[in-house]
Amino acid sequence: MRDARAQAEPGEIGETLNLYRLEPIAAAEDPRWGGSPNRGVLVVAARTAGDARVVAAGRELDFMEVDAGPAEDVTTINASVFRDDKLYTVIEIDRNRTDLTRGVVDGEVSVATILPVQID
């Protein structure tokens, strides 16, 4: 639970981490995307495959950081496309690395995932 609250925060240097590649697997017209853009491939340093999804989701903008409302929860982090195994798959590409910091190693996560309800 603590990791879920601090998804985007880097871990400790020297922590044993694995390297994962998150790849979109759903077709562009799949309704599960729900209007979210395909964010492409990400490479993530994380503890487990599930943690890789949490780290990637943590890089997205949360509704509490903008003037927008959640669809069904107190946070929008649970609605991340990275957490949906029908949209993204996680592939382990290296393991037991101590030279990495927990976080996104390669690829970009747009913060334009949530639009404000008011335009300035």
Tell me the per-residue pLDDT of 64-109, one tens digit each, with 9 for 90 and over: 444 545 555 555 556 688 888 899 999 999 999 999 999 999 988 7
Domain assignment present for residue 118? The answer is: no
Domain that holds residue 60: 2-106
Domain membership of residue 96 (yes or no) is yes
Query: Domains in the chain: how many in total?
Result: 1
Does residue 64 sit within a domain? yes
For the entire predicted model, the pTM comes to 0.72
Does 115 map to a domain? no
Contact (CB, 8 A) for 17 and 97: yes
* Number of neighbouring beta carbons within 10 Å of residue 85: 11
Q: Is residue 116 part of a domain?
A: no
Q: What's the rounded Cα separation, in Å, for the pair 81 and 14?
A: 29
Question: Is residue 14 domain-resident?
Answer: yes
